[in-house]
Structure formats: C-alpha cells, structure tokens
A and B are shown apart, each in its own frame.
Chain A
Amino acid sequence: MKSTVSFLKAVSLAAAAATAIPADGCGPYAPIIPTPEFFALDEPQQTAALREREENLQLWQAQTSADIPLSDIEEAVYGDTRGEFRHKVYGDDSPSGNRFYTWLRNTDDYETECFLSVAKDLEERRRAMTSPWYYPQTRGYESETGDFDELIRECRDYRGERFKDRYALQTSRALFAARRYAECIAFTDSAFSSVADGNLMKRMALRYAAGCLRRLGRAERSDSLFAMTGDIWSVCDTAPAEYMARLNPCAPQLTDYIRGHAADTAFMLRMVPLAERLLNDRRVVNKGDWHFLLAYVRNEYCGDAARARREALRAAGQSFSSDELRDLARAYRMKFDAAAGHAGKLLADLRWMERKARALCPDATEWIRRCRNIVYAHWTPRLWRSGDYSTAILLCAYADNLAPSIERQTIWEHYYDGGGWSGSVLGSVTVDEMRRSETYPNTVDYGCLSFQLAGSLTHRQLAAAYARISADGSALYAFLRRKARTDRDYYYELIGTLALREEDYRQAVNYLSKVSEHYVRTMNLDKGGYLSREVFNPDSPHRPGSAPRAKLDFARRMLAYRRTMTAAGAGADERGLARLMYAIGRRNSFEDCWALTQYWRGWVGVFEPSLQYWYDSFAPTNYAFLYYYDPETDSAATEALYRSEVRAALDMLATDEARAKAHYILGNLKTVVRRYPGTTTADFVRTSCDRWKAWI
C-alpha cells in the first residue's frame, strides 16, 4: 500500500520541542534487494489444481458459449451451492450480471442445469461426509451407501453424448464416496476405455479409481494410475519424482512438485541426474523445464555459474510445460547476463518484463521484484565497477520507478492523538503533481537507490553522467528515460550539493544558481524546515520555514570567505575572521545544518539489503561506494578539522578587537570580557547581555 507521510503537523510539533537538537530527516528508507522466486513454487499442489480448474472452465465455455467470461462460469460451477444455483436458474429474480446464468435462463439448457444440480448435490453430500461431525444413519452394506445410491443411478442413466464424460466422472466420484471400490474401478475402466488419455474427466476419474485401488491394498497399480494422471502427491513410492519421471515425464505436475522442493538441497541435487536423463528421453517434449532446472541447481547449489549459464541459454528456445516456467527461465537467464555484463538482449528483455509489470497483471508485483533483483543485485554493481555511472543510475532509476503504484500517490494526514500516531486519507495525486507540490512530501525521488547512487559520486562525475543521461540518443536510454526522473533541477540541485560537500563553492554556485526556487520548495528538506537553520549561528532560535536559497546563499558566503581568506589586500584580522567564519560554516554544513550537504541523517541505514544478501556480506562487497556520513568517524574528522581551523584562524588575528570579535562569534563571552575588557565587543557584552552567568 502506498503511503505518503504528511508531516506538516508532525514537523510543527517536533520543531517546537526540538530547537536544541539536530532534526533528523525522514528517509531515505533503506532500499532493499528483493529476493523473489525464480524457480521455486509455493503450494505446487494448489497450482496444479488451479490449472485443472482453469481447464475445466474453458471446457464449460466451449460447451456453452465463448462469450461467457470464465469468471462467471467459475461462480456458477464452483462458487454457488446447489440451492443458490437452482434459485439463480429457476428463481423469479434474474441473477444480475452473471452471463452464465443469463445464458442458461435464455437458452433453457436443461441438460446443463440438470447436470450441475446433480454434481452440486454430490459435492454437498461428499462434503458432509468429510465433516468431523458426520456419522452414517443406517447400517448395512446397501443402505450404508444410501446417501449416494440415487445419485449413482441418476448419473448412470444419462444417455446423451454432450456430458457423457462428465456424468461418468460423477459416477466414479459417487461410487468412491459410497465406498463401492471394486465397482468404481470396474466402472471407470469401462466408461473411459475409449476416451483419450488427455481428457480432463478421464484424468480426474482415474484418480478416484486409483484411490479405490489404494484402499483395496493394490498399491502398485494405484501408484501407476496416480502417476499417469499427474497426481504425484498421491504416489506412495519412496521417490515420487523419480517414479513419475519414469511413467509420465511430460506431466507439468512433475515440475510443479520439484519446484515445491526447491529449498531442499539434497532433493534438488538428486534431481540433477534425473533431469539429465530426461533430456535424453525421447518422450520428453518440455526439455526447457529440465535445462532450467539444471541451470538453477548448478547456480544455487553447486556454485557453478558458468555451467549454469550455459544451461540457461540452452533452455531458451525449448518447449516448456507452462508459459510461467518459460518466463521464469528467461528472467533467470537475464540474471546471468547481468552478472556477466552481457547487455545485448537487455533492452528486449526489459521491454518484455515491463509488460508483465503492468497494473492489470496479477503477478505484477513479483515481476517488479524480479526486475529489481536483476538490476540492483547484478547490473548496478557491475556497471559501477566499470565506471559506467550514467547507465547504472538510469537503469537503477528505471527499476526504482517501474511499479504502477508510483503513478498515483495517496495523501495521508498523520496526527498524534496522545496515544499514538493515527492517519486518515485526504486524497491522492499523480506522481507529477506530487513532484510539483510544495506541500505534499515526495516519497518517490529521494528515498530510492538511484538517488543514493547519484549522491555517491563527485560533482564532476555526476555532471558528466547527467550529460549522458539527458542526451544519449540510444534506444536503451530512450526506453529507460521514460520511467526515470531526469529533469535538470533534480540533477543540478544534487550536483550543487555534491560540490558543497567537496567545498567547491564556485561550482556549487554555478549549479545551484540554475535550480529554480520552486524546485527547492518541492524538496522534502525544505518542506520539513531543515534548510532554514542559521548555518553560521545554529544556536539561534530555529524558525522552521521554507528557505529555497539556503544552499545557494551558503555557497556564495563561503566563496566570499574563501576569497577574503586568501586575498592579498586583506589585513590579518580580516583574513583571520574570514577563516573563522569559513571553519564554522564548513563544520555546521556537515553537522547542525547537515541538510546543506546531505539528504538524511539519523538511524536509517544507507543500504540494508534483505535476506540472503544481508548474510552474504553483499552490501560491503558490492555497494561499499555508497555515500554515508558516519556519525562517529566522519563527525570526529569534521570536528578535528574545525578545531584546528579555529586555532589557526585565532592565531592569524592581530588585534584584541578582532580576537574579541572572534571569541564573541565562538560564544566565549567570558573570554571576551576577561581577556579583552577594553574592546567594543566586551563593552557590548557587558551592556547588552542579560544572562550575566554567561560572561561574568
């Protein structure tokens, strides 16, 4: 769920209470490397069941009307009870919207109505039997199954052709529920003897026969039937995958089953010889599945990335048991290409993957995570190491902004009600409106990895990178720019800030002067009042407010001080005082007024990769270059430089007046009054400072 924190009220509360403490910026929230599944499958049995359900719905559609949406058929066939079904078909009220029911009512398809009534009746009786509260009412072989006798007769009495296989399946189910196992086996064998093996009703009916065989103690035939019909989960053999591979190697359920065990190292290693065997099996059509499995196992469990990549390349162009698996194999191959730096297919792959990340795609979230995994874990570090900063930043920005949820941002109002923080939705804005807003916080552009990357360069490097980002005419760059933020203000403000960080105030002025004040007012730092501190006197009362010229004015002042410090015509006092102010400004721009040189401060880690990437020392190895102002080591260095510069500045001063002034600036009022009593500054202190304790 998107959330935009509106901290107007929060800031007003915090600022009132925290004038003496440095304010912490909100964000960026630590970017993570998602760890989506590229091969494993949760609940494989359910996936297989859903696949057959989809197949059944398509059959119903073919047997009724192609204009009926599958969802309407699903509601009627799987969702409604017998009572609801009959009411919607025969009741006085027409069922609103469901075209399956509309079709039945208008065509008077009594055959379909009758069949579904029988099927639902049977299902309800079976469900009652599986209830822990069930207990049969009458004893005796015949009457024990009395609950199903009537249904069995009705199903067997059907003489039509249209639903012959469906009624035969229901008969098998009813016989199984009635515990007439031998009869169920005999009936199923006979009823489906001339039906093709691929027929869905036959596959389902044979599983009931297999269940009967199991209950009669005929485990071997039972297992073979389960395997032939794809129900690997019911196979009792000690190695169901190997068993299934011998009897029915093309069954998609075999791959589903293996994918369900993807986290089991020993199991997956056992699958390697199985996969190699199947690749040489002429019955096997879906060779792509097995190349993919080998790629996955060799990479994840054997650490043989080169061999794994070869298998991944072999998988491409092969048939797969499902479109889903083919897509995952392609995504997995993208990982290898990224790790190896092969960009030949990158644009085509990204175009393909972006189609899967659209708002109406049910798996969009997972595909976005896969894209980010490939970009953050592989492409970005590799490109950075090779010095291709522009592609790294732009590709990362593309991945950062890929999610459809970026397009519209919810505006929340958060407030503290004494017991905790609460929130309510005020509305929503488009991402462009958010970016232009001087009111709503921007939760997209400053908390993302691409912004951190850009902020980890020197200002010259970023300037060069931006020049390419904005001007490169390649198809890849044009594609990536569609999603990334590339406006001049966004980059120039950052370049200027990097220049401030490097004390290159001339370049800071150069870039910051080209940034519009409106843009600065849209930044979170300005909205939060972080730029409105008095950098040369941070202890002065803080009046939070917009200060769009804060960085530019600071750069200009520091530039002026630097010029004075080194000006040949300036006296010692003038140079010394300028040096003192320069030292103060520099120190405060990293500490109390950190917002001048940085974009966040506080507990938020710069980069916190999640899960496997955390424990593999991934961040220190691959993202050590990310800028981070360490609150201990970097602060200590800043303070040390500040102290030495202050000493040097004081040593430069020639007159007591200048010294008094310097100490006054440093807040050393007692020193002013005691050591330089005759100066105008001391006189000022004595006559103007009410807090005697500060100077007496």
Chain B
Amino acid sequence: MKHSLTSLVAALLVTVTAACTGAVTEETPAPPEKNSVYYWKTVLRLDSAGQAFIRRHDIGRIYLRMFDVTEDEYAPAGSPYRAVPNASLRIDDDQYRLLSDSLADIEFVPVVYITLDALRAMRYHEDELASNIVTRVRNMCSYNALPGVHELQLDCDWTSTTEHSFFSLCRSVRQSIDTLGLPWRLSSTIRLHQLARKAPPVDRGVLMVYNTGSFNDPDASNSIIDPADVRPYMKHLAGYPLPLNAAYPTYSWQLLFRKRRFIGLMSGLNVQDTAQFALTGTNRYTARRDIPYRSRMILKGDVVRQESSAPGDILAVKAMIDRQLSGRPHSSVIYHLDTDNLSKYSSDEIDSILSQGR
C-alpha cells in the first residue's frame, strides 16, 4: 500500500513537474520503452557480431554519438568558431546501406557531447552554439539517412558554475529544433552528482550509472561501477522531475598508477602474464620490470588496476535504481556497443541488464 501510494505521489510529482519544465506533455508523447545501447566510436562499424547482438537482444534504440563540441583555443575572442565540432562520426557507404536496410526499424538518437571548455567559451552565445549543433546534426542525419530519429540528446558534465549556461543551451536547442521544423524531443544525460541539482529543461534524461567512482583514486576498488558509490545518490532519484532511462556500463579498462599517482588509462595490457606482472591486490597487478607498451613505458613497480563491469555489480545497482523508479516507465541502456566487451557477458546477463525497468 505504502509502495503504491509512494508510486502514485511520485507519478503525480513527475506529471506536475514535467508540466512546469516543459517536459513530456500531451504534445510530446513519451517514447515507448525499448532496449537501448550507446554507440560511442568515431567510425560506425556494425559488423556481423554487432548486428547479431542487436537482433538477439531486440535492441530498438541506439544512442549514436555524432560529434564532440570542443573549444578552439586558437580562435580569437569574439570569433563564432570558439566552439567547434570534433571527432565527427564517419559513416562509410557500406554502413550507410546497412542503416537503410537491416537497421531501418531501429530508432537512432543522435548524441552530442559538449566539453565544459566549449560551454564556457560560448557563454552568452548559447543560441549560436545551439543553432550550429542542431543544424549540423540535422544535416548528418539527412546525409547518412539515419532512420527513426525522433530525439536529440546533449551530453555534458555540467556543474554548479556551468549549470546556467548548459540550461540556456538546452532552451536554445529546443528553440532551434522548432525553428527548423524538426519533430524531435530533447534529452540529456544526467550524471549521478547532477541528481541533487535542478533538472535541465529537457524532455527526458538518461542517468549515467557508470564512472561512479573516482578513477584516479589509488585506493578505489572499482571506479566504473560500485554499488557503494551509487547508494548515496538514490535518495534524489524517486522525486527527480524528469523521466529517466538508466545506462549501465559493460566496458572494462586498466588504470596505471605510479607511486599512487594516476598516470593514465590503458587497454589490452596482458596483466595475466606472470613474467611481467604480479597480482598484488584484488584487481591490482604490479609490474615486475620496465615494460614498453605502445607509446608508453610502464616502469617497474607501477600498479595496474584492472576494472570491469561485473554483472553482479551492474545488477545490484540496477535493482537499486529500479526500486527508486518503480511505477515510472524507464528503459535500460547499455554503454556501450562494443562486441569485444559484450562478449564477456552471457546472453542472459545482457537480457537481465536490459529486461527490467518497465
């Protein structure tokens, strides 16, 4: 009873708040809940494994990173090009044909990541930035015939000092969408620390439940996802005024530390090679000698912390979130579509991550 009452109150709150923030209304109906993934590479390459994954798990929506917006530090002050697109997604002809063929029934959500430097550089000129973003995304979608585009997503790790600018950008993006006559919703990513703050003026959000810890903390056990790190933010979730989906990680990485100082991210390092590494902690490997690796030199004594997104951790966190969002329809999103990483999960585990939350 209490649970139902809570859900009813939460639902009412969402409806009232959504009406006030211009979120989902009768004019902008809520999207159907679908299994979703993020695609976060600069070249679209969906091989047979990727396509098989999409089919097997009934992926209905792909959040597709289109480009980053970064600051051009060489642009003079006052130049309209202080913020520029960077690392734009490339779609070759074969992928283009794929989009219009076997992926024609997938909903694509173009995503644009905005760096804080770019946001600061365009302060008070958010309308200009918004126009550039929306026009470019529109052209990219049109040029590449992206199917099923009904939404644009902004990704930004805004904080208290940049909140105003980001919110202004959101409003301007919505205005640009209307000006160009595009039938798009507007969403944004929401990070855990942003749950405590005011919601951005968008229609919905995707809660990023990854990078939950501090990766440069030498004592952290798992900075990708750790229920202990997530738990303190849950109190903000039930009453959050935006409809939310939740994105969970399926990636892994290696963090290199030297004398307890974070040096950088690694990948593909074979820490199981006992001739080179010794297991010195739960997920920590210490280099036995100097090891040249790609463009880096790993020194004797350096520590590699191997982190991954364990299914147990993901599902534990997912359970917490589902409890807070119960009664509010929401999708689960996998971050991100990389078949090498995803091959480490069983099909059931993937389904478990995706299946709940409606």
Contact = CB atoms under 8 A, between A and B. Distances in A.
Contacts of B140: 135
Interface in A129-159: 131-139
A133 B176 CA distance: 15
Interface in B40-93: 72, 81, 84-85, 88
Contacts of A133: 81, 84-85, 132, 135-136
Contacts of A136: 139, 143
A131 B139 contact: no
Interface in B87-132: 88, 96, 132
Interface string A114-140: 000000000000000001111111110
B139 A132 contact: no
Nearest to A140: B143
A131 B140 CA distance: 15
Contacts of B132: 133
B142 interface: yes
A135 B138 CA distance: 9
A135 B96 contact: no
A179 to B, nearest CB: 15
Contact of A132 (B81, B135, B145): B81
B211 interface: no
Contacts of B139: 135-137
B326 interface: no
A138 B139 CA distance: 8
A137 B141 CA distance: 8
B326 to A, nearest CB: 42
A139 B84 contact: no
B146 to A, nearest CB: 12
B114 to A, nearest CB: 14
A132 B74 CA distance: 13
A124 to B, nearest CB: 14
B15 interface: no
A133 B84 CA distance: 7
A134 B140 CA distance: 10
A135 B84 contact: no
A139 B81 contact: no
A384 to B, nearest CB: 48
Nearest to B91: A139
Contacts of B84: 132-133
B148 to A, nearest CB: 18
B308 interface: no
Contact of A139 (B72, B88, B138, B144): B144
Contacts of B144: 139
Contacts of A131: 81
A208 B136 CA distance: 28
Contact of B85 (A132, A137, A138, A139): A132
Interface residues of B, number: 16
**For the complex, would chain B's binding face be called helix, strand, loop or mixed by DSSP majority?**
helix
Nearest to B135: A133
A136 to B, nearest CB: 6
Interface centre among A132, A133, A136 (most CB of B within 10 A): A133
Contacts of A134: 136
Nearest to A136: B143
B136 A135 contact: yes
A134 B138 CA distance: 11
A138 B143 CA distance: 4
Interface string B310-343: 0000000000000000000000000000000000
Contacts of B85: 132-133
Interface in A46-82: none
A320 B85 CA distance: 48
B75 to A, nearest CB: 9
A136 B140 CA distance: 7
A85 to B, nearest CB: 21
A128 to B, nearest CB: 10
A178 to B, nearest CB: 16
Contacts of A135: 88, 136, 139-140, 143
A137 B136 CA distance: 9
Nearest to B80: A131
Interface in B212-267: none
Contacts of A132: 72, 81, 84-85
Nearest to B145: A139
A135 B67 CA distance: 12
B135 A139 contact: no
B8 to A, nearest CB: 46
Interface string A184-208: 0000000000000000000000000
B336 to A, nearest CB: 23
Nearest to B131: A133
A2 to B, nearest CB: 29
A135 B140 CA distance: 7
A138 B136 contact: no
A139 B96 contact: yes
A138 B138 CA distance: 11
Nearest to A143: B143
B71 to A, nearest CB: 12
A137 B88 CA distance: 15
B143 A137 contact: yes
Residue among B135, B144, B145 with the highest chain A CB neighbour number at 10 A: B135
Contacts of A138: 142-143
Contacts of B72: 132
A138 B132 CA distance: 17
B143 A139 contact: yes
Contacts of B88: 135
A137 B139 CA distance: 4
Nearest to B129: A133
A138 B140 CA distance: 9
A139 B97 CA distance: 12
A133 B132 CA distance: 6
A139 B139 CA distance: 10
Contacts of B138: 137
Contacts of B142: 137-138
A637 B132 CA distance: 76
A55 to B, nearest CB: 29
Contacts of A139: 96, 143-145
5 contacts: A132-B72, A132-B81, A136-B139, A137-B142, A138-B143
Interface of B: 72, 81, 84-85, 88, 96, 132, 135-136, 138-140, 142-145
Given A133-B85, A134-B136, A138-B143, 6 more contacts: A132-B84, A133-B135, A133-B136, A135-B136, A137-B142, A138-B142
* Closest 8 A/B residue pairs (Cβ): A135-B139, A132-B84, A133-B132, A137-B139, A137-B142, A135-B136, A139-B143, A133-B136
Interface of A: 131-139
